[in-house]
């Protein structure tokens, strides 16, 4: 026997009983936070460096009491929080959540499993495959995305990462699965609209395609991709010796919620054998309701698709659902199998190993929260709240139209309203800054037709009619004050 140098009976870990007590305290803290959430300014008011300045320079040598730590969350952290879960949060796109999702994520943290391989926790893989198949029917997506057909779904952290995976699989398919081996050649060309998410440009850079090989196709008056311009650009690139290979279409752009016409873009992609990826990060959730499914018209042409339950479907970050029509192309692109991950289940070919469907190796049990959300709300509950959000946004758009000082800046097909004060950029900037500084609500901006435009997005879990009414009242007040 070797000499024991450390005492065995010492432990700094929480016992299960301590975890029980302190866990209850944290649950209570969160419940109280949601009860009082409207009392905080939505946008944090701290100055750069203020939070750091309130933290000790050096880490503690000795452990501290749980009560001390929890008090500091309240005292030190909370002033530096922008309250994304406030019902008065109308900025960006939402990143909403729900009680059931928080508890699903807590279970996942508690189980602490890695789902990189089927074998490392079969339930983590199989529940994910199953729930993503459920969502194909819930959103009425094309059957080819089902795991029981040629495709399948996987949970990614974000739409950015999903789009990167799609881009890589497209790159490999276009080069007869040779680009992984030899790297980029400067000939591959990708397409998206000038209104698409910044992650497309970032991904094209990451994947070694090169930013100058990304074509930003012009948009129509509704800020949706112009299919004729896409077709013309593809022809021009082919004629110049380039190899067009990938189109990223958006269902609900971040800027204005524009919906690219998939039914016209799809046939162009088919004709030229381009991979069509559809990014419906926020708006995809609307397809839970049959009356909004028109946003997916033409989706049958897509090779891949993603939407984020962590934006609008009451499921906390991170949870992006990514589907491919041909899972073999994706797996062949992303699979690298070292000896230390070999196992019988993988060799048998009877299972999915989700590490082959994503960039990183490790993965959390994210389907648990998604499963719990779907079971808690049921299809009926999810539909009700999505409809409510769309109705509130439509009402807001109606108020904007009735006020002579304001105008809509783009169509508002769902839950995002882009609008502006008619008095120009400076007034809109001051209006936004004043409202955000007040703490009463938080909204952000974009530029459309080179004009400052305010964005009002209804998607926070706890946003009710009174919050939207109050927000509009505050916008009107602030506008009146500006003009005095």
Q: What angle do helix axes 198-206 and 159-174 make, rounded to 10 degrees?
A: 50
Which one, 297 or 387, has the nearer CB to its own copies? 387
Report CA torsion sign: 218, 405, 454, 283.
Answer: negative
Which one, 88 or 97, has the nearer CB to its own copies? 97
Q: What angle do helix axes 262-272 and 227-239 make, rounded to 10 degrees?
A: 20
Residue written as tokens 């602030």?
A: 478
Distance CA 355, CA 358 (A): 6
Q: Shortest approach of its own copies to residue 335 CB, angstroms?
A: 9
Residue in 217, 220, 218, 226 with CA at minimum distance from that of residue 246: 217
Which one, 15 or 221, has the nearer CB to its own copies? 15
Q: Shortest approach of its own copies to residue 131 CB, angstroms?
A: 8
Which one, 153 or 298, has the nearer CB to its own copies? 153
Which one, 6 or 484, has the nearer CB to its own copies? 6
Residue written as tokens 């990304």?
A: 214
Query: 66-76 b/e with 16+ CB inside 10 Å = b?
Result: eeeeeeeeeee
Q: What element of type H or E holds 128?
A: helix 122-138
In terms of C-beta density within 10 A (0-12 exposed, 13-18 middle, 19 or more buried), how is residue 176 classed? Answer: exposed
In terms of C-beta density within 10 A (0-12 exposed, 13-18 middle, 19 or more buried), how is residue 444 classed? Answer: middle
Which one, 116 or 268, has the nearer CB to its own copies? 116
Q: Shortest approach of its own copies to residue 480 CB, angstroms?
A: 21
> What is the full DSSP assignment across 257-309?
--B--HHHHHHHHHHHT-EEEEE-TTGGGGGGSGGGGGGGTTGGG-SEEEE-H
Q: Shortest approach of its own copies to residue 235 CB, angstroms?
A: 22
Q: Shortest approach of its own copies to residue 51 CB, angstroms?
A: 4
Q: Shortest approach of its own copies to residue 154 CB, angstroms?
A: 15
Using CA atoms in the order 390, 391, 396, 402, what is the torsion angle rounded to 10 degrees?
A: 130
Residue written as tokens 């797996």?
A: 331
Which one, 112 or 221, has the nearer CB to its own copies? 112
Question: Beta strand 320-324 with 406-408: parallel, antiparallel or unpaired?
Answer: unpaired
Residue in 268, 209, 267 with CA at minimum distance from that of residue 243: 209
Q: Shortest approach of its own copies to residue 329 CB, angstroms?
A: 14
Q: Shortest approach of its own copies to residue 299 CB, angstroms?
A: 19
Q: What element of type H or E holds 106?
A: helix 99-111
Q: Shortest approach of its own copies to residue 200 CB, angstroms?
A: 9
**Residues making up the chain, counted from first to last:** 484
Which one, 264 or 383, has the nearer CB to its own copies? 383
Which one, 310 or 420, has the nearer CB to its own copies? 310
Q: Shortest approach of its own copies to residue 155 CB, angstroms?
A: 13
Which one, 213 or 264, has the nearer CB to its own copies? 213
Residue in 274, 437, 363 with CA at minimum distance from that of residue 352: 363
Q: Shortest approach of its own copies to residue 258 CB, angstroms?
A: 13
Which one, 379 or 483, has the nearer CB to its own copies? 379
Q: Shortest approach of its own copies to residue 396 CB, angstroms?
A: 10
Report CA torsion sign: 40, 41, 43, 45.
Answer: negative
Which one, 211 or 294, has the nearer CB to its own copies? 211
Distance CA 172, CA 175 (A): 5
- In angstroms, how far apart are the furthest CA atoms of the chain? 87
Strands lying side by side in the sheet with 451-457: 406-408, 416-421, 451-457, 444-448
């Amino acid at each position: 026997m070797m000499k024991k140098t450390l005492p065995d009976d010492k432990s700094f870990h929480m016992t299960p009983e301590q975890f029980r007590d302190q866990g209850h305290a944290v649950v209570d803290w969160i419940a109280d936070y949601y009860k009082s959430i409207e009392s905080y300014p939505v946008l944090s008011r701290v100055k750069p460096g203020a939070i750091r300045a309130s933290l000790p320079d050096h880490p503690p040598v000795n452990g501290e009491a749980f009560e001390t730590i929890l008090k500091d969350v309240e005292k030190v952290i909370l002033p530096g929080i922008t309250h994304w879960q406030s019902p008065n949060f109308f900025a960006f796109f939402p990143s909403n959540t729900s009680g059931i999702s928080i508890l699903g994520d807590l279970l996942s943290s508690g189980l602490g499993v890695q789902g990189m391989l089927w074998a490392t926790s079969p339930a983590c893989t199989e529940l994910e495959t199953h729930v993503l198949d459920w969502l194909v029917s819930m959103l009425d997506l094309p059957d080819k995305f089902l795991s029981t057909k040629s495709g399948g779904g996987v949970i990614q952290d974000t739409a950015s990462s999903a789009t990167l995976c799609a881009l890589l699989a497209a790159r490999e398919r276009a080069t007869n699965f040779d680009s992984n081996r030899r790297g980029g050649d400067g000939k591959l060309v990708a397409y998206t609209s000038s209104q698409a998410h910044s992650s497309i440009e970032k991904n094209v850079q990451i994947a070694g395609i090169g930013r100058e090989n990304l074509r930003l196709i012009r948009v129509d008056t509704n800020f949706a991709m112009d299919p004729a311009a896409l077709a013309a650009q593809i022809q021009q690139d082919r004629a110049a010796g380039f190899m067009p290979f990938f189109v990223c279409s958006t269902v609900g752009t971040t800027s204005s919620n524009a919906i690219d016409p998939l039914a016209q873009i799809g046939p162009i992609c088919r004709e030229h054998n381009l991979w069509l990826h559809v990014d419906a990060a926020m708006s995809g959730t609307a397809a839970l309701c049959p009356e909004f499914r028109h946003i997916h018209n033409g989706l049958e042409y897509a090779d891949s698709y993603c939407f984020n339950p962590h934006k609008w479907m009451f499921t906390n970050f991170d949870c992006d659902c990514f589907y491919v029509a041909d899972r073999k192309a994706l797996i062949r692109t992303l699979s690298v199998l070292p000896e230390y991950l070999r196992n019988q289940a993988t060799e048998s070919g009877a299972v999915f190993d989700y590490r082959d469907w994503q960039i990183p190796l490790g993965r959390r049990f994210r389907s648990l929260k998604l499963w719990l959300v779907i079971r808690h709300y049921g299809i009926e509950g999810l539909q009700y709240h999505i409809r409510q959000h769309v109705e509130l946004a439509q009402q807001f758009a109606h108020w904007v139209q009735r006020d002579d000082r304001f105008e809509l800046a783009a169509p508002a097909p769902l839950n995002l309203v882009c609008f502006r004060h008619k008095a120009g950029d400076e007034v809109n900037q001051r209006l936004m800054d004043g409202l955000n500084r007040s703490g009463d609500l938080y909204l952000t901006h974009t530029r459309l037709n080179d004009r400052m435009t305010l964005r009002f997005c209804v998607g926070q879990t706890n946003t009710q009619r009174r919050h939207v009414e109050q927000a509009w009242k505050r916008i009107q007040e602030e506008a009146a004050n500006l003009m005095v």
